Structure 1
Amino acid sequence: MSQTTLRRKFAAGLTALATAAGLVVGAPALVGAQATEQGSSASLGSAGSAGSAGSGDAPNTAPAFQPAAGNENPVGFRNWLRPGCSWDPVASWVQLCDVWSPAMNRHIKVQVQPARFGGNAGLYLLDGLRARDDWNAWTRDAQAQRIFLQDNITLVMPVGGQVSFYTDWDRPINLGGNLVEYKYETFLTAELPGYLQQHFGVRTDNNAIAGLSMGGSAAATLAARHRDQFKQVSVFSGYMNPTAPGMYTMIPLAMFDQCKCDPFAMWGLPGSPRWGQNDPLLNADKLRDIPMYITAGSAIPGRYDQPSSLQAVFNTFNGIILEGLSRGSTIAFQNTLNARPNQATFDYRTTGIHGWGYWNDDLIAARSAQILPVMNAQAW
């Protein structure tokens, strides 16, 4: 099947799903338009995520965040490099570390900001579907390293893993002519924790996990499957029911649109058991007793959405559709979770589309509402 045909099917899928979600689609032809590399294709990921790389038309640039004034490294826990690490250009004591993954047979880059006072809590921050190979977007399109600068928790931000859903794929994936293993669940839960404990003092059983879009769905799934590792989970604009009608088509097409790879190398063909194993809604029973902070926007453009060009209009339109899909699946997940007692907090924004400005705000809210209290990571 040609890429043009797949793009048209993808556009048709977006339009159909938007209609089902009750969204008013005014310009469906835009979805299939040819777009630039940065902030281009509609996908279950970080819409406009390349804005920090020079795409001024990205509709959702995160606001500057300035933490309270204070000594950023009061007792010297942050000013020395750990093995395999170098100072990251984003500053704020972030280190860029190469961590060996036996499962993937290569080094995986991880951005790490040590806890302010050497605390043993960790916060894993997962990226979106269009994750880059040079940085985690939480440090460029959002302000995670500034948001938690004064806190006693180590930020753990894996780099790379586009379209991965941070899961173990059934078979290798062809990316740009290179056959690579995708075993991100194994890396994040069996390989990386030992490195973090040895070099950053992060306990293997004292972690929170958060993510946006693709990373949000993965955060919920990883928390459900690894309760001995994660004590709190935050999901921002996630897709909480990938086995819902339409998603068997939407997810593979979105993945192919990004990587031009075989999406069924992940969990097999639609309807295969592994799709259900990685569906947060179907795993709701495993999440009832873990604190969760879950958000979704209304798909109505808000404060970060002021498109000034055709490309920006394209990005905004995609963000509207994607956030509508996220909100619908989040409501379905909430209805399932609320069938029995749980510890989840749901925050539905009155405006906001699929974009980094909103996710940055979500992380700020989750920090004070749940992450720091649950992890006992306040720096007093």
Structure 2
Amino acid sequence: MNRTAVRLGVLLLAGAAVAAVLLALLVPFSSSDSDISVGGQAVQVEQRSERDLVLTVTSAALGRKGMVRVLLPEGWRPGSGPWPVLYLLNACCQPDYDAWAIRGEAAGLTSRYPVIVVMPEGGEVGFYSDWREGPDWETFHLSEVRRILERDYGAGDRRAVAGPSMGGFGAMSYAARHPGMFQAAASFSGVLHTRDGNGGVDWLLNRSGEDAGKLWGDPRSPEWAAHNPADLTGRLRGVRLFVSCGDGSPGPLDSSGTAMDEGEASLLHQAVTFVERARRDGAEVAVDFYGPGTHSWPYWQRGLERALPMLMDSIGVTT
């Protein structure tokens, strides 16, 4: 297996009833654990700082506990809101909900915006979907986690979603499959056309020991098309979109000696197809095809920084 394939495999593919508990969570720069129950779900809350929380959710959708990192806006307090929400989805092959906070500088980039930032785990190769035999990642994120945020943290109905690689797939898929839920979506080097014939999704799933047929079935099936962003562009009219991708050649944010990244080059072709279809179908798309750049976090962090003004404006956030 060549270096590019390994690199792509690693990266391409992540109220009142509780007021007393939430007040306890506001103790600045302390570490505390508490348990609350929302809608029959047990939620353990760890406070890492004044605005930084980690939720451990006993999830029926996943059949296990799921992790979610939450950044609260300055001025948040129990009972406040409704607050706009930004979902940051992860790339593949790293189910860690900490990725955006550690590698993407999410806290620093969003600190000046009055918005709740949500960073849920997405499974190693969960592809932001309800699998035929579980787990149900789509239900976990958009039903279970959403309701917890609304009931406990004052999350409102103004939402944006963004992610790199597999997370870029998730951002566009979620926005298209749930009309009205998101006002804006952004993809950074995202998997935007899963039926382009390169077999990338199948390869990733098989490499991770997963049966590709248990995700969306046969690649020629309507179920597969119903999860493919490039087949769903007609459902994105009215959602403001941001799409960025490099061409795979070593760029300014790569270290010396970095090789050509064929995986990123392939994703650029997907992005071009997606953008052409989205614009044809009347969607508003901002594009950043920045040329040299590989499939890596420095470019995704920069992508979020460039996309944030549009994402925030779309959900009514000003600084």
Provide TM-score, normalisation by structure 2. 0.85
Instruction: Show the counterpart of 2:58.
Output: 100
Aligned residues: 293
Correspondence list, 1:189-204, <5 A: 189-203=142-156
CA drift at 1:206: 1.6
Measured in 1, the distance between the counterparts of 2:4 and 2:178 equals 37
Q: 1:207 to 1:190 in 2, by over 3 A?
A: same
Partner amino acid, structure 2, of 1:219: A
Measured in 1, the distance between the counterparts of 2:145 and 2:122 equals 14
Secondary structure of the 1:230 match is coil
Partner amino acid, structure 1, of 2:137: Y
Whether the 8 Å CA contact 2:51–2:74 is kept in 1: the answer is: no
Instruction: Show the counterpart of 2:205.
Output: 255
Indicate yes or no: 2:237 matched with 1:237: no
CA drift at 1:106: 2.1
Measured in 2, the distance between the counterparts of 1:190 and 1:44 equals 28
CA drift at 1:222: 0.5
Instruction: Show the counterpart of 2:277.
Output: 336
Indicate yes or no: 2:279 matched with 1:279: no
Indicate yes or no: 2:7 matched with 1:45: no
Measured in 2, the distance between the counterparts of 1:328 and 1:362 equals 18
Q: 1:272 to 1:100 in 2, by over 3 A?
A: same
Measured in 1, the distance between the counterparts of 2:236 and 2:24 equals 34
Residue of structure 1 aligned with 2:69, choices 111, 114, 118: 111
% same residue: 25
Whether the 8 Å CA contact 2:72–2:117 is kept in 1: the answer is: yes
Deviates more, 1:157-166 or 1:76-85: 76-85
Q: CA RMSD in A?
A: 2.3
Correspondence list, 1:1-380, <5 A: 11=1, 29-30=2-3, 41-43=7-9, 45-46=11-12, 79-80=26-27, 83=36, 84-88=44-48, 91=49, 93-118=51-76, 119=81, 120-133=83-96, 135-171=97-133, 181-203=134-156, 205-246=157-198, 249-257=199-207, 259-307=208-256, 313=258, 316-317=259-260, 320-368=261-309, 370-379=310-319
Measured in 1, the distance between the counterparts of 2:103 and 2:243 equals 20
CA drift at 1:92: 6.9
**1:17-69 deviations in Å (ceiling 9; x for gaps):** xxxxxxxxxxxx5457xxxxxxx55327358x9xxxxxxxxxxxxxxxxxxxx
Q: 1:340 to 1:262 in 2, by over 3 A?
A: closer
Partner amino acid, structure 2, of 1:137: A
Q: 1:324 to 1:44 in 2, by over 3 A?
A: farther
Whether the 8 Å CA contact 1:44–1:251 is kept in 2: the answer is: no
Q: 1:46 to 1:333 in 2, by over 3 A?
A: closer
Gaps of 5+ in 2: 15-22, 37-43
Provide TM-score, normalisation by structure 1. 0.72
CA drift at 1:225: 1.1
Partner amino acid, structure 1, of 2:72: P
Whether the 8 Å CA contact 1:92–1:146 is kept in 2: the answer is: no
Whether the 8 Å CA contact 2:245–2:289 is kept in 1: the answer is: yes
Partner amino acid, structure 1, of 2:283: N
Partner amino acid, structure 2, of 1:358: Y
